[in-house]
Amino acid sequence: MPELPEVETVRRGLTCVMEGATITRARVNRPDLRRPFPENMAERLTGRRVQTLRRRSKYILAELSSGETLLIHLGMSGRILVSGDRMGRFVHDHPAPQAHDHVVFEMDNGARVTFNDPRRFGLMDLMPTATAQAHPLLAALGPEPLGNGFSEPYLAAALHGRRMPVKAALLDQRIVAGLGNIYVCEALHRAGISPRRAAGRISARRAGMLVPVIRDVLTTAIAAGGSSLRDFRQADGELGYFQHSFDVYGREGLACRRPGCKGTVARIVQSGRSTFYCKACQR
């Protein structure tokens, strides 16, 4: 599933063709994805100007001139691709329709924005902009890891007393929003913290050290266009490249990349997910 860097990469790719532009025609080609589409979604989007595009956790939020906000989640295999931009930012001609092109936006600047999702685990919803933060998918989210609310004192307090493994705590979207399996594995390796260690047994000092490490991992991944493991593509169809910089994720049995460490990367399963770490240098 795309994590924060992948979603932010897509949002940035969409901004230059959607923000400030009008949806001249919206096409909805099926009644649902993971859940039913909002009633009359195509009609509610057609003719509306996209005032701003922002991201909250793993969701893209398009605020519309109608006073509604379109919420988009990519799910497991969702892609949003842009073609035909007359301003020259996207040079791809409009492709022939594909079997899994479920939602298509024709923009007044000549761009076409297509949501393609073979496995149909993505979703879209419409909500009043004024109360968007109360939406059930957004209301309980923790602070953004790249925002001011995610600080050293905050994380130390959030982990204090918790018996769950620190990896599980960092994946809890109520504690910090947007982190997923890949980037938690990478951040814990850089911080030298075992993913098996109980969150409450991490000192305030070490918890505080995690904050800049998490931010650095995410910032570097965004700069690389995210990670492409199976389905992820940027808005221009290109792959992300951060997977070439993984220190532990997917590297089971290979040498640890920490300078001076002679350990090898191990794989364990935590809460049904693969965890990659080095037993020698992560304590």
Q: Which residues are catalytic?
A: 2-3, 58, 273
- Residue 9 belongs to a domain with what CATH number? 3.20.190.10
Tens digits of per-residue pLDDT, 1-49?
688 998 999 999 899 899 999 999 999 999 999 999 999 999 999 999 9
Residue 69 counted as domain residue? yes
- Residue 252 belongs to a domain with what CATH number? 1.10.8.50
Residue 34 counted as domain residue? yes
Is residue 20 located within the same domain as residue 129? yes
Radius of gyration of the chain (CA): 20
Is residue 23 located within the same domain as residue 130? yes
Is residue 122 located within the same domain as residue 233? no
Amino acid of residue 157? A
Give the residue among 241, 232, 274, 276 at the shortest CA–CA distance from 257.
Answer: 276
Tens digits of per-residue pLDDT, 183-213?
999 999 999 999 999 999 999 999 999 999 9
Residue 141 counted as domain residue? no
CA distance 182 to 214: 11
Question: Which residue, of 78, 100, 134, is where some domain finishes?
Answer: 134
Is residue 122 located within the same domain as residue 221? no
Answer whether residue 256 shows pLDDT above 90. yes
Residue 195 counted as domain residue? yes
Is residue 123 located within the same domain as residue 9? yes
Give the residue among 219, 210, 9, 33 at the shortest CA–CA distance from 115.
Answer: 33
Domain span at 71: 4-134
Is residue 22 located within the same domain as residue 121? yes
Q: Is the Cβ–Cβ distance between 227 and 10 less than 8 Å?
A: no
Average pLDDT over the chain reads 91
Residue 147 counted as domain residue? no
Residue 140 counted as domain residue? no
Tens digits of per-residue pLDDT, 96-134?
778 899 999 999 999 999 999 999 999 999 999 999 999
